[in-house]
Amino acid sequence: MTAGSNNWFERAKRVIPGGVNSPVRAFNAVGGDPLYVVSGAGARIHTEAGRELLDFCGSWGPLVLGHSHPAVIDAIKQAADKGTSFGINTPREVEFAERLCEMAGIEKVRLVNSGTEATMTAVRLARGATGRSKIIKFAGCYHGHSDGLLVAAGSGLMTGGVTSSAGVSDAVAAEVFVPEYNDLDAVIAIVEAHGDELAAIILEPIAANMGLVLPDAGFLEGLRAAADRCGAILIFDEVITGFRLGPTTYASQCGVSPDLICLGKIIGGGLPIGAVGGRAAVMDHLAPLGEVYQAGTLSGNPVAVAAGLTTLHLLASEPPYARMAALAARLADETNAAAQAAGIPLHVAVKESLFTPFFSDSPIHNYTDAKGCDTKRHAAFFHAMLDAGIYLPPSQFEVGFVNAAHTDVDIDQFVSAATAGLP
């Protein structure tokens, strides 16, 4: 697969590190040259090379309504006509914050510009509110690229983690404990040994950055109890799951209430945005009320807020969730049946409109399980699907998305291509 007739990738590599502005776009996990997209509509994207592809990546989650939804595009145009940025308060950002609080079940919210900013702010806020410095995060849960969250599991639970990126100091990594996702006993052991040092426990309540991994029964409830026991702040990173499984957060659906929730992706309708919200008693530690500083020139950007408000309105007034879930379930069930009939070690994990094809003989419960998947087989599957006109996230460790623009015919196309392309 070439990058297009104008050698965009070669041109990009001369002026952009690695030729991409986000590493996973480089196709390093699957091989080959990356795509260049010029437009999208509904469930399809169009490449610079002239191909039409059925898209199950959806800009990595934000496009729950599909590409270029007319109402969202109209809201963007109307907002842009009045000005793209002011650096001054606007009425619409207040309306947006009110809507988020109502739908997400939170007391206060601060708007930022990305999921990374949201999680970074949440951790700083937890440290400021508790006066403590250490945190627990989980192996395989990705929370953006701020220093303290780019940490992988160390050799032992009772020591700090090791950095998973150059440029992250050992001192920063030493502040982070990294147990396995779904290992509640490990969390309890850390709390027993270091509870009075813990500022926060942060996780994706449904893991979506080692592929789709669901929490075991009682895991999230156990984390709530562990945080309460030691006085730490429980943070749910719902940048992916927020408004993906219903017109609210997963926290509201599962009945476990974190102290802080991080949001992004869907709430911006495809434009850059993020938010951190939660209990007023914690949120009020943010400046200008409190001593925890956070600021952003473009925070509450009027164009992003307009797209987000329109998206949230449509998700509440015309909820697509039941239909998306039914489509994703059929995608998974029929692909799994084809793989089983062919004797291929493939299991498509699914939760509502999220899915991941895992090339593994065993169920995936944590990062160690995920790393045991056959990534070469996944790469072959990715390219077989791409050749058949279907675009999937180019990594074994990402989730795919069924969006409101997908149809039964699209699922038929997916299953047919998957059956023919099983490696």
The domain limits of the chain are 8-64+320-421, 70-317
Tell the CATH topology of 70-317: Aspartate Aminotransferase; domain 2 (3.40.640)
What are the beta bridge partners of residue 289? none
Query: pLDDT digit string (tens) for 348-374?
Result: 999 999 999 999 998 999 999 999 999
Query: Cβ neighbours of residue 155 under 8 Å, at least 6 residues apart?
Result: none
* Domain covering 8-64+320-421 in this structure, CATH number: 3.90.1150.10
The whole-angstrom separation of Cα 111 and Cα 152 is 28
Concerning whether 237 is annotated as a catalytic residue, the answer is yes
Q: Which candidate in 55, 137, 183, 237 is catalytic?
A: 237
Q: Which candidate in 108, 142, 369, 374 is catalytic?
A: 142
Concerning whether 142 is annotated as a catalytic residue, the answer is yes
The whole-angstrom separation of Cα 280 and Cα 259 is 9
Tell me the Ramachandran region of residue 46: left when phi exceeds 0, alpha when psi lies from -120 to 50, beta otherwise: beta
Query: pLDDT digit string (tens) for 66-79?
Result: 999 999 999 999 99
Q: Which candidate in 108, 137, 265, 351 is catalytic?
A: 265
Question: What does pTM read for this prediction?
Answer: 0.95
DSSP strand pairing (134-136 vs 37-41): unpaired
CA distance between the termini of the chain:
18
CA dist 394 → 39, 211, 382 (Å): 19, 12, 7
Query: pLDDT digit string (tens) for 45-93?
Result: 999 999 999 999 999 999 999 999 999 999 999 999 999 999 999 999 9
Per-residue burial over 390-411, b if 16 or more Cβ lie within 10 Å, else e, is: bbbbbbbbbbbbbbbbbeeebb
